[in-house]
Copies of this chain bind each other. A is one copy, B any other.
């Protein structure tokens, strides 16, 4: 068991991911209630909103109201997502409540980048160069590299380890050129293609070439392998994971509606805690937050654990 980390650190993405994809309008008060419930679970980081164009993503038209409305809790870091200077400005208006740092985002699949952003590889790097410059001009550090489609792509098929490493090479070169110190490399299975053996290969290749930055795994459970891929990451010593309470969020790239998106936070916490890996999270409180999320969206969330429940009550009864 010696390869496993002693503890992990989870970025809870449920509020941001979940309220973006839901068809109906979610009341601002409900979004705030979920963030506050998550704050009480012990989770280290929460992404609370997306500062995106409300015409394109009406579900986040109330981003300012949500960020102004939640109750920050000591020890929890709150973040948001933005894509352009306007989004960065809106985020910076809340820099007393939000941790604001920039990311160089690249895609291991050029086809995904073209489909998603209408940019080929050079165009994406140009866009990222402007992105970095805008951040630095506002005094915002850029310390993270994020690789989308790092395992496979609905538009170009399987992504090789070499392609993923090449994407990181691009991003690290841009970081060096702009004087940014990268402390984290996020590897994202954006469309749910990863398998555990591939996670081991990709994490191993990235770590051996860039041993210093911490690796974050952003895994999707589109085809049911998300937690097995997290296990593979843990075996490689990865200790940073993104996850979404209840599996909130769904998968915008899946062929069928209703497919799970991000791995469910409670399943990741259960996996770790049962194996003696500390998460700092109260699983029962997290399951309550997950049930709250399900009531808010008004339909069944993908988390198996939300149905199966935790073991604490059984253990108490048995003791």
- Give CA–CA (A213, B6) in the complex, Å: 35
CB distance from A244 to the nearest CB of B (A): 13
- Whether B228 lies near A308 (C-beta < 8 A) is no
Is residue A157 contacting chain B, with contact meaning CB distance below 8 A? yes
A255: chain B residues at CB < 8 Å are: 308-309, 313-314
> Which B residues lie within 8 Å of A309 (CB)?
223, 254-256, 259
Q: Which residues of B contact A270 (CB under 8 A)?
A: 195, 223-225
* Nearest CB in chain B to that of A226: its residue: B304
* Chain-B contact segment, one of A44-52, A133-141, A147-155, A165-173: A147-155
Give chain B residues whose Cβ lies under 8 Å from the Cβ of A14.
none
Contact of A318 (CB < 8 Å), options: B153, B195, B224, B318: B153
One of B221, B258, B276, B308 near A251 (C-beta < 8 A): B308
A107 close to B (CB within 8 Å)? no
- Whether the Cβ atoms of B195 and A308 lie closer than 8 Å is no
Q: A157, A231, A267: which has the most chain B beta carbons within 10 Å?
A: A231
Name the distance in Å between A197's Cβ and chain B's nearest Cβ: 4
Bound Cα distance A58, B53 (Å): 57
Which residues, 1 to 36 on A, are CB-close (under 8 Å) to B? Answer: 1, 4
Is A37 an interface residue, CB under 8 A from the partner? no
Judge whether A264 is part of the interface by a CB distance below 8 angstroms.
yes
> Does the CB pair A197–B158 fall under 8 Å?
no
A297 surroundings in chain B (CB, below 8 A): none
Q: Mark A222-250, 1 if CB is under 8 A from B, else 0.
A: 11111110111000000000000000000
Chain A residues touching B, range: 35 or more
Per the bound structure, the CA–CA distance linking A274 and B315 in Å amounts to 37
How far does the alpha carbon of A275 sit from the alpha carbon of B4 in the complex, in Å?
Answer: 21
Cβ contact within 8 Å between B256 and A314: no
* Complex: A122 Cα to B235 Cα, angstroms: 41
Does A111 lie at the interface of the complex (its beta carbon under 8 Å from any beta carbon of B)? yes
Q: A307 contacts which chain B residues (CB < 8 A)?
A: 222, 254, 256-260, 302
- Whether the Cβ atoms of B231 and A196 lie closer than 8 Å is yes
Q: Is the CB of B111 within 8 A of A304?
A: no
Assess the A259–B318 pair: CB atoms within 8 A.
no
The answer, among B227, B266, B276, B305, for a CB contact under 8 Å with A228, is: B227
Residue numbers in B under 8 Å from A153 (CB-CB): 314, 318
What residues of chain B lie closer than 8 Å to A300, measured between beta carbons? 258, 300
* CB atoms of B156 and A304 under 8 A apart: no
16 examples of A-B residue contacts, CB within 8 angstroms: A1-B197, A152-B311, A155-B314, A157-B314, A223-B270, A223-B304, A223-B308, A223-B309, A223-B310, A224-B227, A224-B304, A224-B308, A228-B230, A255-B308, A259-B309, A302-B304
3 closest A-B pairs by beta carbon, nearest first, are A157-B318, A224-B267, A195-B274
